[in-house]
């Protein structure tokens, strides 16, 4: 197949991509550099919308706080979801007969919309009618019956842990596939040479999983930076209570659609641009580092 | 596998980022809006999906009087409406008569030049000025729409529960506090408040504290720049909420507003501070319940002359799209929406308090609320005057009140932060 035929085949996809993704993206990038009166574009303002994000209320307080919550969400998800996910995948890998069925079961919650999940957990954790606190009180753990979503100290972690609960099947599937790609001969050889189970895992299997761990980490990073639906279902667009479940996407949503100021399109486009640069830059950097590391293993 | 997963990773990175950007791009669309001979079809857009049948009935009455005119009522999901309307008005296939938001929420639409000024078409000089203010452009002071309904902050109470416990409707603050104590003593939650939803808290503050800061008089002095939110009377009104916290459900910041309503309608709580817009939901939740309303008497130290008040605001207006090819017919429809005939139908069919003066109400609760508004009305200040910029007054007080309940801030700090936030964009009129 020559170059021209190849081009012909990708043209439809490229055209769709151009019209529905590239064009809106470039235009909204350009919106960030203009003043706005409602939906009517005004003059070119340079970086004014960007400086507003760092100098004007409510951004001066909301932006750093939202970013910090996204970072905590990423760290929390990495530590809990991906560690448990790897453990579960490893345990499932050795149960050849029930593996597929169990993998499906673990993946079930993420077939449900995060909005529904958030709503259900809000009901479960309600301090007035919620079964969780009723149960805790019944078994004598009254001091544990906290206002889970009403206390800023616990609300963010509830959001993170429910997200972990929902998405646990995702690392299980990815790690499961990666473990399937590690030839059994390697671990068998290590066992013959006298390695224990733990040693074989740490020295042989784990290094071969680095590419998968890298992919999962990058995807987790993107996922955490974009978190929207679940926090929205838990705390609304303002990150209730008292902004303790606020995230960057919620701040963007508030700025773009809930704001009373007429230049909302400008500032929200600037915020979207920064968010894009953060996600793209972070993911790109991480991928570059991982690639170098992989070369070290395979090369 | 390494290669594939890396590629997928990169693709996802790019795709995800692109979506974040694409999400905020207003799109424009085109369509044809040609007139069609003798008959005219007017399109009306609204966010009230639940009122579709009522509006169709109302517009049938208009069609009967105006032969040749067909009104097509098209409601959209309320949470999506702002985006849909902005897109519709920017393109050429928007509605002839859009329902638009009030006060601050209207300004984006006005600034876009999407609406026709109506100063010469309708005369609202006999209407409540605080309601009409919600239909005007802040910048040029022109009238861009006709107010549809009035909402009011309301303290609902369970009449039967009051009677069963030998409680009278309080007329002084001391009586109000003893009502609360009596109920608490009987194991009933006196005040059903859902502080997990920050947007309800400025309304709760208005219901319980408006008479403490001085209602309409305070609004006038804030508008003129004579006073601001650091005023001791306003700080004290925020403190009223802290004093009343013990009468609210336990861990109040964890209680959602739907839970609070359920507590009230299931007979576990005696009073529910909310808005007139809650009436339909409360009546549906428990049709047996005998609902009543009363105004909270002023707390001690209230400015002299301050009395129990009901705070109100305009909720929703109808306007004329500047790009409509049928502007004349559209203006005529909007003119009709300012008549008592339309107002009465709003009251009877949509079951809202009409913005048109002189409308009568058959629902006893609605009747009481409307009477209170007319007799002792005051503006719901944070909505009527402090939603014209970002951060908005309601957002700041909502979050601040949560911090007050959580104990991380006191009333003075909450009021000071509210003041600092809104003063970044607020300009007094004098």
Give the start-to-end residue ranges of the domains of chain B: 40-151+313-377, 152-312+379-422
Average pLDDT over residues B407-414: 96
Residues in chain A closer than 8 A to B251 (CB atoms)? 127, 146-147, 150-151
pLDDT of B50: 86
Q: Taking 50 as the threshold, does the pLDDT of residue B7 lie above it?
A: no
Residue B430: band (very low, low, confident or very high) from pLDDT cuts 50, 70, 90: low
For B83-126, the pLDDT digits (tens) are 899 889 988 889 999 999 999 889 889 998 999 999 999 999 99
Average pLDDT over residues B181-210: 95
pLDDT of B397: 96
To the nearest whole Å, the CA of A209 is away from the closest chain B CA by 10
Give the side-chain half-sphere CA count within 13 A for B301. Answer: 10
The range of the structural domain enclosing residue A173 comes to 62-112+154-298
Higher pLDDT, A135 or B430: A135
pLDDT of B272: 97
Number of CB pairs, chain A paired with chain B, less than 8 A apart: 203
pLDDT of B91: 86
Residue of A262, A265, A266, A283 to mutate for B, most B C-beta atoms under 10 A: A262
The separation between CA A130 and the C-alpha centre of its own chain, rounded to angstroms, equals 28
The conformation of residue B295, written as its DSSP 8-state character, comes to P
In whole numbers, what is the pLDDT of chain B averaged over residues?
Answer: 89
Q: Taking 80 as the threshold, does the pLDDT of residue B27 lie above it?
A: no
- Asked if residue B49 lies in contact with residue B40, where contact means CB atoms within 8 angstroms, the answer is no
Is A193 contained in some domain? yes
CA distance B223 to B206: 17
Is A33 contained in some domain? no
Window 162-201 of B, Cβ < 8 Å to A: 195-199
Is A158 contained in some domain? yes
The tally of domains found in chain A comes to 1
Average pLDDT over residues B219-237: 95
CATH of region B152-312+379-422, choose from 3.10.350.10, 3.40.30.10, 4.10.80.40, 3.40.190.10: 3.40.190.10
For B129-178, the pLDDT digits (tens) are 889 999 999 889 999 999 999 999 999 999 999 999 999 999 999 999 99
Residue of B3, B16, B24, B87 to mutate for A, most A C-beta atoms under 10 A: B24
* Low pLDDT (below 50) residues in chain A: none
Residues in chain A closer than 8 A to B12 (CB atoms)? 218-219, 222
Buried b (16+ CB within 10 A) or exposed e, A17-50: eeeebeebbebbbebbbbbbbbbebeeebeebbb
Minimum CA–CA partner of B392 in chain A? A260
For B336-375, the pLDDT digits (tens) are 999 999 999 999 998 899 999 989 999 999 999 999 999 9
- B26 in contact with chain A, both atoms CB, cutoff 8 A: yes
Q: Do domains B40-151+313-377 and B152-312+379-422 have the same CATH topology?
A: yes
Residue of B8, B13, B260 to mutate for A, most A C-beta atoms under 10 A: B13
Q: Which of A291-295, B80-84, B233-237 has the highest mean pLDDT?
A: B233-237
Write out the two tokens for A261. 């100021």
Q: Which residues contact B395 (CB under 8 A, 6 or more apart)?
A: A58, A238, B198
pLDDT of B20: 44
Window 184-213 of A, Cβ < 8 Å to B: 211-212
To the nearest whole Å, the CA of A91 is away from the closest chain B CA by 22
For B247-275, the pLDDT digits (tens) are 999 999 999 999 999 999 999 999 999 99
- Asked if residue A49 lies in contact with residue A59, where contact means CB atoms within 8 angstroms, the answer is no
CA distance B173 to B154: 17
The CATH number covering residue A189 comes to 1.10.3720.10
- Asked if residue B420 lies in contact with residue B267, where contact means CB atoms within 8 angstroms, the answer is no
For B288-344, the pLDDT digits (tens) are 999 999 999 999 999 988 899 999 999 999 999 999 999 999 999 999 999 999 999
Nearest to B251 among A38, A127, A294 (CB): A127
Higher pLDDT, A76 or B13: A76
- pLDDT above 70 covers a percentage of chain B that reads 91
- A95 in contact with chain B, both atoms CB, cutoff 8 A: no
Nearest to B21 among A29, A148, A249 (CB): A29
To the nearest whole Å, the CA of B213 is away from the closest chain A CA by 24
Is A280 contained in some domain? yes
In the CATH scheme, what is the code of domain B40-151+313-377? Answer: 3.40.190.10
């Amino acid at each position: 197949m020559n170059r021209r035929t190849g081009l012909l085949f990708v043209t439809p996809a490229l055209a769709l991509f151009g019209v529905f993704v590239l064009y809106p993206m470039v235009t909204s990038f350009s919106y960030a550099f203009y003043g706005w009166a409602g939906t009517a574009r005004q003059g070119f303002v340079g970086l004014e919308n960007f400086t507003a994000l760092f100098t004007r209320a409510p951004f001066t307080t909301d932006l750093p706080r939202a970013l910090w919550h996204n970072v905590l969400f990423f760290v929390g998800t990495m530590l809990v979801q991906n560690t448990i996910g790897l453990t579960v995948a490893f345990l499932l890998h050795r149960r050849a007969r029930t593996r597929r069925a169990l993998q499906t079961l673990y993946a079930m919650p993420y077939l449900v919309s995060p909005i529904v999940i958030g709503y259900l957990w809000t009901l479960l954790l309600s301090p007035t009618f919620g079964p969780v606190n009723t149960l805790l009180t019944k078994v004598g753990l009254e001091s544990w019956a906290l206002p889970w979503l009403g206390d800023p100290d616990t609300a963010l972690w509830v959001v993170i842990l429910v997200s972990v609960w929902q998405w646990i099947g995702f690392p299980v599937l990815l790690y499961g596939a990666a473990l399937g790609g590690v030839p059994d001969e390697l671990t068998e050889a290590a066992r013959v040479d006298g390695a224990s189970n733990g040693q074989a895992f740490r020295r042989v299997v784990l290094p071969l999983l680095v590419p998968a761990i890298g992919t999962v980490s990058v995807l987790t990073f993107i996922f955490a930076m974009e978190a929207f639906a679940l926090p929205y279902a838990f705390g609304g667009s303002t990150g209730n209570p008292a902004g303790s479940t606020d995230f960057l996407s919620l701040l963007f949503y508030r700025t773009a659609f809930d704001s009373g100021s007429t230049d909302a399109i400008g500032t929200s486009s600037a915020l979207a641009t920064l968010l894009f640069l953060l996600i793209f830059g972070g993911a790109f950097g991480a991928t570059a580092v991982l690639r170098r590391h992989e070369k070290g293993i395979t090369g | 596998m390494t290669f594939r997963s890396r590629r997928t990773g990169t693709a996802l990175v790019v795709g995800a980022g692109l979506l974040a950007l694409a999400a905020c791009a207003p799109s424009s669309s085109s369509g044809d809006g040609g007139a069609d001979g003798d008959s005219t079809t007017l399109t009306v857009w609204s966010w009230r999906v639940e009122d579709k049948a009522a509006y169709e009935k109302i517009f049938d009455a208009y069609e009967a009087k105006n032969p040749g005119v067909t009104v097509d009522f098209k409601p959209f999901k309320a949470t999506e409406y702002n985006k849909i309307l902005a897109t519709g008005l920017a393109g050429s296939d928007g509605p002839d008569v859009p329902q638009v938001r009030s006060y601050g929420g209207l300004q984006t639409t006005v600034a876009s030049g999407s609406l026709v000024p109506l100063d010469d078409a309708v005369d609202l000089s006999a209407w409540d000025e605080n309601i009409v203010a919600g239909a005007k452009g802040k910048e040029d002071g022109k009238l861009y729409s006709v107010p549809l309904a009035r909402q009011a902050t309301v303290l609902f109470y369970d009449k039967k529960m009051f009677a069963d416990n030998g409680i009278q409707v309080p007329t002084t603050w001391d009586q109000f506090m003893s009502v609360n104590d009596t109920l608490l003593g009987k194991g009933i939650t006196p005040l059903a408040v859902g502080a997990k939803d920050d947007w309800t808290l400025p309304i709760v503050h208005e219901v319980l504290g408006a008479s403490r800061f001085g209602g309409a008089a305070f609004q006038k002095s804030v508008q003129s720049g004579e006073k601001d939110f650091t005023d001791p009377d306003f700080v004290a009104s925020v403190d009223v909420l802290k004093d009343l916290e013990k009468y609210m459900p336990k861990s109040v910041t964890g209680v959602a507003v739907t839970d609070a309503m359920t507590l009230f309608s299931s007979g576990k709580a005696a009073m529910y501070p909310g808005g007139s817009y809650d009436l339909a939901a409360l009546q549906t939740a428990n049709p047996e319940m005998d609902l009543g309303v009363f105004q909270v008497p002023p707390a001690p130290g209230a400015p002299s002359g301050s009395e129990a008040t009901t705070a109100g605001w305009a909720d929703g207006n109808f306007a004329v799209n500047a790009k409509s090819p049928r502007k004349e017919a559209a203006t005529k429809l909007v003119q009709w929406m300012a008549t008592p005939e339309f107002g009465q139908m709003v009251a009877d069919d949509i079951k809202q308090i009409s913005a048109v003066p002189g409308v009568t109400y058959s629902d006893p609760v609605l009747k009481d609320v409307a009477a209170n508004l007319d007799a002792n009305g005051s503006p719901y200040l944070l909505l009527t005057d402090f939603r014209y910029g970002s951060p908005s007054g309601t957002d700041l007080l909502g979050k601040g009140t949560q911090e007050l309940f959580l104990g991380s801030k006191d009333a003075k700090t909450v009021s000071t932060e509210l003041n600092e936030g809104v003063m970044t964009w607020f300009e007094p009129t004098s």
